Structure 1
Amino acid sequence: MRPITVVVTASGAPGTAALLRGLRENGEREVRLVGTDMSERSVGRHLCDAFHLVPAGSDPGFADAIRAIVEREGADCVLPQSSFDLEGLAQHRESFPVPVLVSRPDAIFRCNDKAETYAFLHRLGLPAPAFRRVSGAAEVEAAARELGYPDVPVCFKPVFSSGSRGFRVLDPTVDRARQLLDERPGSVAMRLEEAVELLPAEGGPDLLVMELATGGERTIDGIADGERVLLGHPKTREAMRAGLAMYFVTLDDPALMAIADLIVAELGIEHFFNIQLVGDHVIEINPRISTIVYQEDLDLPYLGVKRALGEITPEELVALRPRIRPGRTALRYFDQIEWDA
């Protein structure tokens, strides 16, 4: 098969090394990888065949910068990794000369706006946390008390966030001395009084105050065509470090796949997706690639690229479902590289 070139955005993301390796070790063809990132201290600079600095995904010039790289490098497709890159790419995807593996703008908006996400989950009858959309300290306090604080912990986060940024648990039993002396910086738990003190009295960013979902974490990862899940599987999400899961086990759970099908159909998600649950509650829908549990005979990122290029049909992807191996386990770990400046 002919070699292809793939532009991978946010190539400093934690999953970059495994993703690049998965694309290279596809067993069919040579894949040339072009990394982009807003930081020159990106591992993609060292692991990709070419690398380009670009503006932040929220910058109005981001899509133009990626399009110029596509044309300069003769790329065959664009594979975004970061939630922050999705909106700009989605708005301009039709202007690219090659496929951009991103859903339509309305799907991106409804996933990124967590209040909209929870509202349509409730309309679909899917389990999602009770929530209030608020801004300012006074509204945060009122919403927290409506949801049961201080009798039960609640939580809040920005309406748009990614990778646990801005997420805090409001828990009246927090031991501040223990946090100070025994825990690493960046604890996600605090008392409501502390949050009220730090937030502006009125206004500020829109926040989501919500019921605290509890229980084991699971995600559903896969490839969709805007109407259904073509190929994917659930997995556990365990051993959190610095807000990242480090241990995963694939599951055989038809009920979770049925939830994914409903969400994909409602939103019209295309290409890669990641749906996150805590206990029975759906808490995140990410219309992008996330951490993948790789198999030597089932390379999801490469298959998603082939689908975007029109080299494999939806039904051919569906036919690969029996290859998924429940119990397949992934352990993430920290690594490093060295070079002479």
Structure 2
Amino acid sequence: MTPTAIPPRKAPADEPPALVFVESNTTGTGMIALDSAREAGLRPVLLTADPARYQGLDATGATVVRCDTNTFAELAAAVHALPGDLAGVTTTSDFYVALAAELAASLGLPGNPPDAVRACRDKARTRELLREAGLPQPRFAAVCTPEATAAAVVSVGLPCVVKPVGGSGSELVRLCGAVEQAEQAVRAILGVTTNVRGQRVEPVALVEAFLDGPEFSVEMFSRGGEACCVGVTRKSVTSGDHCVETRHIYPAPVPEADHAWLADYAGRVLGVLGITTGPTHLEVRLTSRGPELVEINPRLAGGMIPELVRLADGRDLLRGQLDAATGRSVDLSAVRRRCAGVAFLLPPGPGTVVRVTGVEDAEALPGVVRVIVGATPGRSVRSARDAYDRLGSVIACGADAAEVDAVLDKAIGLIGIELAS
């Protein structure tokens, strides 16, 4: 799709050039990114359909422009009406990476080719391109009806993973051990017509072979079409039907040969998909056959991983994203070598939160950097099915992964979440 052209801008104002954000994520780096833009000498502008979605937005001092952010023409008109110079366009939201790339391309600003971003966001298209290139990945089949599920399962084998082609946060992702489970999962996916941002959802589900092996994420950063590996994160997920991420450790304690293997594979994936600029987050399992892609995200990692990188290495990936989006030089030099990790608080079951205990004790532990709890009394919770069910997190630092794991274990053990049925 060729981006709609936007007329050339005039730039009279004496204020800093604007960095436009097309929406934002609602946790993690969302509001931090707006602050970081201002600290970088830029004027942060948030285009949003609903400013009330963002807690802490007023404190960022960002210019807020309300418009239909699901429509390119509305975004283009909003940007063209902005006063002053425009430095770049970016986003911290999964749901808007393609629109942001299209907008940047239409303005001749730095960014990834829109088709490359769309290929990353469409998990079925990602699989097709990797298959054409001959890169290792799980067996897969795309299905558009529940009736096609059985044949898909036969082609990929059991157990299998069923997922939406454009989801986020592991929502509606399910590990299935039987055809009946897979059909149920496909029906759930095809029953959703719009996502949480009101965008149309493709009526397609992916059925993939389950990859057996440890899971990692490879944090990559591209400049001028050249991709470098920032580092590798060890990921832990829940067992059972719903694979919810419970812990990240950075850098992953893996042999150098495995690190190089993962980094090389990630670089080849980016080359196939056509990513040229900024951060990408690839989730990969290291199988007996080698690295195989779980999924790719054309954005910074979520799950507090950029903060772990900052704590462990001193590298600011969020600032790197903003610099890349505005055509500035990007410095990703490591200034220290430590280890950092995050463990997530999960509901002990379904119910209503009565109280949370032990937070101050956990905060007082040596090595604990931060404890965040979102499990406020009165909140209804369920057993965790995706990332949106997590109730908080503990971040810790240490000399190595073993030390960080021990601190996180102790801190999580001190925090109690009491529920009423």
TM-score interval, smaller chain:
0.7 to 0.9
Matches within 5 A, 1:258-273: 258-269=264-275, 270-273=277-280
- Local SS of the residue matching 2:166: coil
Shift in CA distance, 334/21, structure 1 to aligned 2, threshold 3 Å = farther
For residues 321 and 248 of structure 1, the distance between their equivalents in structure 2, rounded to whole angstroms, comes to 20
Shift in CA distance, 200/327, structure 1 to aligned 2, threshold 3 Å = closer
AA aligned to 1:311 is: R
Partner of 2:89: 78
For residues 62 and 243 of structure 1, the distance between their equivalents in structure 2, rounded to whole angstroms, comes to 36
Task: Note if contact 1:276-1:282 (Cα within 8 Å) is conserved in structure 2.
Answer: yes
Task: Note if contact 2:37-2:322 (Cα within 8 Å) is conserved in structure 1.
Answer: no
For residues 281 and 324 of structure 1, the distance between their equivalents in structure 2, rounded to whole angstroms, comes to 30
Partner of 1:183: none
**CA RMSD of superposed structures (Å):** 3.7
Matches within 5 A, 1:177-256: 191-192=181-182, 194-195=184-185, 205-225=203-223, 227-230=225-228, 232-238=230-236, 243=244, 247-251=248-252, 253-256=259-262
Q: TM-score, normalised by structure 2?
A: 0.60
Q: Cα deviation per residue 1:38-92 (whole Å; 9 max; x = unaligned)?
A: 33221252442123434244x34453255247x2475532221223212223333
AA aligned to 1:309 is: T
Match of 1:7 among 20, 23, 45: 20
For residues 221 and 186 of structure 2, the distance between their equivalents in structure 1, rounded to whole angstroms, comes to 41
Shift in CA distance, 217/48, structure 1 to aligned 2, threshold 3 Å = farther
Partner of 2:124: 115
For residues 172 and 21 of structure 2, the distance between their equivalents in structure 1, rounded to whole angstroms, comes to 26
Shift in CA distance, 196/237, structure 1 to aligned 2, threshold 3 Å = closer
Partner of 1:53: 66
Q: Percent identity?
A: 22
Shift of 1:326: 6.0
Alignment of 1:140 onto 2:157: no
- Local SS of the residue matching 1:284: strand
Shift in CA distance, 74/138, structure 1 to aligned 2, threshold 3 Å = same
Shift in CA distance, 133/330, structure 1 to aligned 2, threshold 3 Å = same
Task: Note if contact 2:218-2:262 (Cα within 8 Å) is conserved in structure 1.
Answer: yes
Relative contact order (C-alpha < 8 Å, sep 6+): which is higher? 1
For residues 4 and 231 of structure 1, the distance between their equivalents in structure 2, rounded to whole angstroms, comes to 30
Match of 1:295 among 293, 307, 310: 310
For residues 25 and 219 of structure 1, the distance between their equivalents in structure 2, rounded to whole angstroms, comes to 29
Shift in CA distance, 105/95, structure 1 to aligned 2, threshold 3 Å = closer
Note the residue ranges of structure 1 that are not aligned, 5 or more in a row.
174-189, 337-341
Shift of 1:132: 0.9
Alignment of 1:90 onto 2:101: yes
- Local SS of the residue matching 1:238: strand
Partner of 2:294: 283
Query: 10-19 vs 104-113, which deviates more?
Result: 10-19
For residues 187 and 33 of structure 2, the distance between their equivalents in structure 1, rounded to whole angstroms, comes to 44
Query: 33-42 vs 104-113, which deviates more?
Result: 33-42
For residues 74 and 44 of structure 2, the distance between their equivalents in structure 1, rounded to whole angstroms, comes to 19
Partner of 2:326: 309
Partner of 2:49: 38
Shift of 1:31: 5.2
Note the residue ranges of structure 2 that are not aligned, 5 or more in a row.
1-14, 192-201, 345-370, 375-421
Q: Cα deviation per residue 1:287-338 (whole Å; 9 max; x = unaligned)?
A: 122231342642122133234434326xxx4xx55547363434566456xx
Shift in CA distance, 224/193, structure 1 to aligned 2, threshold 3 Å = closer
Task: Note if contact 2:190-2:203 (Cα within 8 Å) is conserved in structure 1.
Answer: no
Partner of 1:163: 169
Shift in CA distance, 84/249, structure 1 to aligned 2, threshold 3 Å = same
For residues 82 and 311 of structure 1, the distance between their equivalents in structure 2, rounded to whole angstroms, comes to 22
For residues 282 and 187 of structure 2, the distance between their equivalents in structure 1, rounded to whole angstroms, comes to 33
How many residues are aligned here? 304
Q: Cα deviation per residue 1:104-158 (whole Å; 9 max; x = unaligned)?
A: 022122212222212333444433110012210111122113322xxx3212222
AA aligned to 2:168 is: S
- Local SS of the residue matching 1:191: helix
AA aligned to 1:164 is: S
Shift in CA distance, 298/277, structure 1 to aligned 2, threshold 3 Å = same
For residues 12 and 73 of structure 1, the distance between their equivalents in structure 2, rounded to whole angstroms, comes to 26
